[in-house]
Chain A
Amino acid sequence: MKALAIPLLLAGSLLSHGAEVTIPIEKYKLDNGMRVILSRDSSVPVVAVYVIYGVGARSEQKGRTGFAHLFEHMMFQGSANVPKGAHFSEVESNGGVLNGSTHPDFTDYFQILPANKLATALWLESDRMRALNITKENLDNQKEAVKQERRLSFDNRPYATAIVDRWPLLAFRNWQSSHSLIGSYEDLEAASVEDVAKFFKTYYAPNNAVLSIVGDIQIPEAKKLVAAYFGDIAPQPQPKHPDMTEPAEFTPRTEVHKDAHARVPGVVIGYPGPVRRSTDYYALNILDALLTGGESSRFQQNLVKGKQSIIQYESNLGWPFAGPSDYKDPGMYAMFLLYKPNFSGKQIVEQAQEEIARVQKEGVDAKELERVKTFVRAFRIRELQGAMARARLLGQYELFDGSAEWLNKEMDRYMAVTPAEVQAAAKKYLVPERRAVLEIVPAPKAQAPTEGR
C-alpha cells in the first residue's frame, strides 16, 4: 500500500469506508435506466460530477486491444452541441478540472467545479452521452495521442511494459483479463470509425451508467437539472458482459522479464483473490494492511528494515489496475517489490512468502489487529475529505454492488474482521501453489520495445 516512485497509469485506491463519518445518500433512477446518486455537503462551495460506465478493457474484443481507452479519448473530441476542445475549455473557464480514466471493468469521467457551475458539467456529460461526435479525423488524431501515451507511460519507462503487457498474461488464462489494457500499436491502428460508433451505442447508454454528484448542491434543483439534461436520452439493450471465467485449476507460474530501462530489480507476486464483498474479501484487505500498510507494517519492519532486502513496495487486491473499491473477481491480490541487487528474485519471493506463512501458522494477535484496523479507518476518513473521492466511491459501489450505501456500511465489516478470518484468508489464498511471479530484471542491453507500425 505504499506509493512507489514509479507512477502507474491507474493507481489503485485503498481500503474503503467511513466509521464516524456518514455520507448522506439520495438515490434514484431515471426512466431511461440511468442511476443517479446525490450527496449534499455545503462545507466548501464545490461540486464533483462523476459518470461511470459499465465497460472497461475487459469488455474488449480480440484484435481491438486498447479500444476502451482509445474510446475514452474520443469522449473529449466533441459532441452534437459541444465543439472539439470545448469540453476542456468549458470546464476550465468555469474554474474546474476534469479527466477520464479507463479501468479493467469500468470507464469514468469527472469534473470538479465551483458549486454554482453544476449545470455546465451536466450539459457537457449529457451531450456526449446523447450524441458523441465520431469522425475519422478525430479518431486518427487520438490514435496518435494514445500511441504517444503508450510511449511516454510504458515503452520508455522502467517496469511499466512488464506490468501492463506481461503481468496480465501471467495472472490470467482468459483473454478478456489477460490482454494489454493499453493495447498494441497494431490493434489501435486497426480501430475504425464503425467500431467507435458501435461501442458507443452498445456501452455508453444511460442504462449502463451511474451519475453521482457530491458537493454544495440543493437536492431539488439538482434533480431538476439532471432530469432536464439526461431524462430523454434513449436507453439501449442492456449490454452483455463477456465470460471472464478463469479455469478452476491454478498452476504456479514464474516468468523473467528483461527490462531495458530498469536499473533496480523488481518482482511482482500475485495470487487469485476472493469474491468481492465476501468475508474473505474483507479479511484479505485487512491482511494486506497488516503486511504492507504504513511504517508499522510487517513488510516495512521485517523486510525493508530487518532483512534490509526490499526498497519499496506496493500491493493491494486488484493491483495494478484496480484497488479494493473497484476490485472485481476474477482478480488478483498482487504486490510489486523493488529490492537490492545483492538479493535474488527467488530470495525475495521466499521472504515475502515467509511473512505470509507466519500469519498462516501463528495467526495475528489482537493488539496488532486493532492497530491495523485503526490505520484502515483513519485512512478512509482522510480519503473521504474530497468531494471527488466520495463521488467516485458512490458511483463505483452503485455500479459494482448495486448499492452506493456500502460507503456507509463497509467499515463495520472491516472492523468486525477477526484474527481467525485473517488467518483463514492467508491460508486459503496466499499459498505458493496458487502463486504467479514475474521477475523484472534490469538489462540495459535488452532491446527496447519497438513499434508495430
Chain B
Amino acid sequence: MLKTTLAVFAAAAALGAQAIDRTKAPATPPIPDYKLPATFETKLPNGLTVVLLEDNRFPLVTVRLGFLAGAKFDPKETPGLSETTAALLTQGTGTRTARQIAEELASIGGALNGGAGPDSITISGSALAEHAPKLLEILADVTRNPAFPEEEVKLRIANRNQELQAQRSEPAFLAEEKLASVVFGSHPYSRIAPTPESLARIDRKALAGFHATWLVPNNGYLVLLGKLPPRAETLRLINERFGSWKQGQLPPAPKPEFPAPSKVIALVDRPGSVQADIHVGRLAVTRANPDYFPLMVANNILGGGASSRMFSNIREKQGFAYDAHSELDARREAGIAKAVTQVRNEVIEPATRAVLDELNGMIKGTVAPAELTRTKNFISGIYLLRLESQDGLAQQLITTKLMGLPNSFLEQYTARVRAVQPEQIQNVAGRYLNPENAAVVVVGDASKIAKPLEKFGKVEVTKAQ
C-alpha cells in the first residue's frame, strides 16, 4: 500500500551527532514519488459504477455512494429539497425505523450519513471490517427504500429552520450567500441554503419524487475501500444488494449559464458587528478546464497556507487580520475563486485595499522561482497527506467520479501541478483574479464601515436577513 519508491533518509543516515550545521535548513531529498493504490472499477448492468480499493492498514471499511442529484437539481421554488432528501435517507425505510438503522449501525461500529452539495448527494459511512456485508445491506436499504416517514420529515424541517437561524447569525454565511448570488446569477449555484418558505413546501411526496427521479443506479457511483473481503465475494455482495435495482430516466441538468463577471461592491449590514468580513470573489473554472491547475497554483500563491502572500502581508506584516486566505471552489459546471479576510472595523479601508492589491499583484507582478517551487511542493505534500485515511482516499475517489473527471486525474495530479509555468500563472490571474470585475462583498456594521468603503466605488447596501 502506498509505498514510496525513494530511499527515505538517504541524507539523514550520514549524519553523526556533531555533524549538524544549525545555521541553515537541512538539505533533504525531494518529496518522494508515490503511487496511488490500484483501484478496480466495474459497472453493473443497471449502470451503477463500482470502484473498489484494498487498504488493509486498519480493520475498517469505508463507503461513499454518490449521485448527481445535488442542490442544482432543486426545483426553482424549493431550494433545500436535495439536502432534505439526503438527510432523510437514513431516517427510516420500508423495513427499518430510524432507530433500528441507528442501532444496527452502532452495533457494527458504523455510521451512514446522507449529505448534499451543489452538484451531488453522497451517502458516506464506514464500519468495522468484519461487518462489511451488514454495512452494504443497510446502505442498499437506505438508498433504495427510504420511507420518508411523516414524523421524521416534520422534525427535520423544524430543526433545519432553527439551523438556518443559527447560520444567519454567522457573518461568513451571510457573505457566502451574497457572493454566490452575485457570481452565479440565475444559476441554482446562487442559492446556498433553503428558506423557511421553501422548507414549508417540502413534504413526503416531494421527497419521494426527488428520490425516485435522481437516486437511480445509472446516476450513481459506489466507492468501497478498506479491509475488504476477497474480490469475488465483495462483488457478489454488491450484486446481491444493488443488482436488482432498476434504472431510471434522467431529466436534463440545468444549463450552465452564468452572468459575465462585473465589479460590484456589496455591503451586508450587520449592526453590532465588531469586525468586517471581506470576501472578494469571481467566477472561475471547473477541474476539467485546462486553466484549472495554473489557477489552483495561483490561488495557493495568493492565499493558500501560512507562507502565502495574503497570510504574510495581511496578517503577519500588517496585523490587520487573524485569518487571510484565498479559495478555489471548483464545482462540476463552474468554480468560484475568492479572497477572504476578517478585519476590525477601524482598518476596513486599508485592509480592503490590501486584499485588492494582492489580487492585482498576481496579475502585474511576477512569481519568483522559489515562491513557485514552494507552492508546488506545498500542494503536492498536502495531496499526500489526504491519502492517509480511508475517508481521505474515499473522498478523492468519489469526487473524481462526481466531477466527471477521468481516472487519470488523481494519478496525474502532482505532475500537472509541477508542470505549471510562471507565465501561465500571470495569464490565469489576469483572467480569473482581476478585482476590476470581481464582487467585493463585506459583512459588517454599515454605520461604521459604509463610508470608508465608498472610496472603492458605489456601495450597494442590504440588510442582513
The chain A residues found within 8 Å of chain B, CB to CB, are 5-6, 20-21, 42-46, 76, 80-81, 84-86, 88-90, 92-98, 112-120, 123, 126-127, 141, 144-149, 151-153, 155-158, 216-218, 221-222, 224-225, 227-229, 231, 260-264, 294-296, 300-301, 304-305, 308, 311-312, 338, 340-341, 370-372, 374-375, 377-379, 381-382, 384-387, 448-451
Q: Judge whether B25 and A90 touch: CB under 8 Å.
A: yes
Interface centre among B155, B158, B169, B378 (most CB of A within 10 A): B169
B143 interface residue (CB < 8 Å to A): no
Chain A residues with Cβ below 8 Å from B155 are 304-305, 308
- Chain B binding surface, main DSSP class: mixed
Q: Judge whether A81 and B23 touch: CB under 8 Å.
A: yes
Contacts A21-B58, A218-B8, A378-B60 given: A44-B20 contact, CB under 8 Å? Answer: no
User: Which residue from chain A places its CB closest to the CB of B30 in the assembled complex?
Assistant: A116
Q: Judge whether A96 and B381 touch: CB under 8 Å.
A: yes
CA distance A301 to B155 in the complex (A): 12
Binds A, one of B72-80, B97-105, B246-254, B288-296: B97-105
Chain A residues with Cβ below 8 Å from B209 are none
Q: Judge whether B106 and A92 touch: CB under 8 Å.
A: no
Contacts A45-B2, A123-B26 given: A378-B307 contact, CB under 8 Å? Answer: no
CA distance A340 to B29 in the complex (A): 57
B375 CB to nearest A CB, Å = 8
Q: Judge whether A381 and B58 touch: CB under 8 Å.
A: yes
Q: Judge whether A81 and B24 touch: CB under 8 Å.
A: yes
B313 CB to nearest A CB, Å = 11
Q: Judge whether A157 and B170 touch: CB under 8 Å.
A: yes
B365 interface residue (CB < 8 Å to A): no
Contacts A43-B1, A115-B8, A148-B344 given: A311-B102 contact, CB under 8 Å? Answer: no
Chain B residues with Cβ below 8 Å from A80 are 22
B13 interface residue (CB < 8 Å to A): yes
Q: Judge whether B9 and A149 touch: CB under 8 Å.
A: no
Chain A residues with Cβ below 8 Å from B109 are 374-375, 377-379, 381
User: Which residue from chain A places its CB closest to the CB of B151 in the assembled complex?
Assistant: A305
Partner of B59, one of A21, A115, A123, A375: A21
Partner of A148, one of B103, B111, B343: B343
Q: Judge whether A95 and B378 touch: CB under 8 Å.
A: yes
Q: Judge whether A120 and B25 touch: CB under 8 Å.
A: yes
Q: Judge whether A20 and B59 touch: CB under 8 Å.
A: yes
Q: Judge whether A45 and B11 touch: CB under 8 Å.
A: no
Chain A residues with Cβ below 8 Å from B29 are 116
CA distance A98 to B311 in the complex (A): 14
Ordered by A's residue number, 16 sampled pairs between the chains whose C-beta atoms are within 8 Å are: A21-B59, A93-B377, A114-B32, A119-B12, A120-B28, A148-B343, A228-B20, A262-B166, A263-B165, A264-B166, A295-B105, A308-B158, A311-B159, A371-B107, A381-B128, A382-B60
**Which chain B residues (347-399) contact chain A, with CB distance < 8 Å?**
370, 373-375, 377-378, 380-382, 384-385, 387-391
Chain B residues with Cβ below 8 Å from A375 are 106, 109
B108 interface residue (CB < 8 Å to A): yes
Q: Judge whether B166 and A263 touch: CB under 8 Å.
A: yes
Chain B residues with Cβ below 8 Å from A451 are 274
Q: Judge whether B388 and A46 touch: CB under 8 Å.
A: yes
B422 interface residue (CB < 8 Å to A): no
Chain A residues with Cβ below 8 Å from B272 are 260-261, 448
Chain A residues with Cβ below 8 Å from B98 are 295, 305
Q: Judge whether B111 and A295 touch: CB under 8 Å.
A: yes
Chain B residues with Cβ below 8 Å from A341 are 162
Interface centre among A340, A371, A379 (most CB of B within 10 A): A371
Q: Mark B151-190, 1 if CB is under 8 A from A, else 0.
A: 0000100110011011111110000000000000000000
CA distance A304 to B158 in the complex (A): 11
Contacts A44-B388, A94-B381 given: A148-B320 contact, CB under 8 Å? Answer: yes
Q: Judge whether B105 and A45 touch: CB under 8 Å.
A: no
CA distance A338 to B160 in the complex (A): 13
Task: Please name 19 further chain A to chain B contacts, defined as beta carbons within 8 Å, in addition to the given A114-B381, A264-B162, sorted by A numbering.
Answer: A45-B3, A84-B316, A95-B382, A114-B32, A115-B32, A119-B28, A141-B319, A151-B274, A155-B275, A218-B9, A295-B98, A295-B106, A295-B111, A305-B98, A377-B128, A378-B127, A381-B109, A382-B389, A385-B390
B82 interface residue (CB < 8 Å to A): no
Q: Judge whether A45 and B34 touch: CB under 8 Å.
A: yes
CA distance A372 to B168 in the complex (A): 35
Contacts A148-B321, A218-B8 given: A371-B384 contact, CB under 8 Å? Answer: no
CA distance A346 to B43 in the complex (A): 56
Partner of B374, one of A6, A92, A151: A92
CA distance A262 to B166 in the complex (A): 7
The chain B residues found within 8 Å of chain A, CB to CB, are 1-4, 6, 8-13, 15-20, 22-26, 28-29, 31-32, 34, 57-60, 90, 98-99, 101-103, 105-111, 126-128, 155, 158-159, 162-163, 165-171, 272-275, 305-307, 311-312, 315-316, 319-323, 342-344, 370, 373-375, 377-378, 380-382, 384-385, 387-391
Q: Judge whether A116 and B381 touch: CB under 8 Å.
A: no
CA distance A141 to B313 in the complex (A): 12
CA distance A20 to B32 in the complex (A): 30
Q: Judge whether B306 and A92 touch: CB under 8 Å.
A: yes
Q: Judge whether B158 and A216 touch: CB under 8 Å.
A: no
A258 CB to nearest B CB, Å = 12
B96 CB to nearest A CB, Å = 12
Q: Judge whether B31 and A95 touch: CB under 8 Å.
A: yes
CA distance A264 to B110 in the complex (A): 31
Chain B residues with Cβ below 8 Å from A119 are 11-12, 15, 26, 28
Chain B residues with Cβ below 8 Å from A90 are 25
Q: Judge whether A141 and B316 touch: CB under 8 Å.
A: yes
Q: Judge whether A156 and B388 touch: CB under 8 Å.
A: no
Chain A residues with Cβ below 8 Å from B103 are 296, 371
B395 CB to nearest A CB, Å = 13
Partner of A93, one of B12, B99, B102, B374: B374
A314 CB to nearest B CB, Å = 14
CA distance A113 to B18 in the complex (A): 24
CA distance A447 to B102 in the complex (A): 43
Chain A residues with Cβ below 8 Å from B6 are 45, 116
Chain B residues with Cβ below 8 Å from A43 are 1-2, 57
Chain B residues with Cβ below 8 Å from A338 are 162, 166
A262 CB to nearest B CB, Å = 6
Q: Judge whether A296 and B25 touch: CB under 8 Å.
A: no
Partner of A224, one of B8, B15, B274, B342: B15
CA distance A153 to B342 in the complex (A): 10
Q: Judge whether B166 and A149 touch: CB under 8 Å.
A: no
Chain B residues with Cβ below 8 Å from A449 are 274
Chain B residues with Cβ below 8 Å from A305 are 98-99, 155
Q: Judge whether A374 and B107 touch: CB under 8 Å.
A: yes
Q: Judge whether B13 and A221 touch: CB under 8 Å.
A: yes
Chain B residues with Cβ below 8 Å from A312 are 163
Chain A residues with Cβ below 8 Å from B24 are 81
CA distance A221 to B28 in the complex (A): 14
Chain A residues with Cβ below 8 Å from B59 are 20-21, 381
Interface centre among A117, A153, A260 (most CB of B within 10 A): A117
CA distance A96 to B16 in the complex (A): 25
Q: Judge whether B99 and A384 touch: CB under 8 Å.
A: no
Contacts A114-B32, A311-B159 given: A372-B4 contact, CB under 8 Å? Answer: no
Interface centre among B90, B155, B384, B387 (most CB of A within 10 A): B384
Q: Judge whether B9 and A448 touch: CB under 8 Å.
A: no
Q: Judge whether B274 and A45 touch: CB under 8 Å.
A: no
Interface centre among A6, A301, A374 (most CB of B within 10 A): A374
CA distance A448 to B171 in the complex (A): 14
CA distance A346 to B24 in the complex (A): 61
Q: Judge whether B17 and A85 touch: CB under 8 Å.
A: no
Q: Judge whether B106 and A294 touch: CB under 8 Å.
A: yes
Q: Judge whether A81 and B22 touch: CB under 8 Å.
A: yes
Q: Judge whether B322 and A152 touch: CB under 8 Å.
A: yes
CA distance A294 to B105 in the complex (A): 10
Q: Judge whether A95 and B384 touch: CB under 8 Å.
A: yes
CA distance A305 to B154 in the complex (A): 11
Q: Judge whether A385 and B274 touch: CB under 8 Å.
A: no
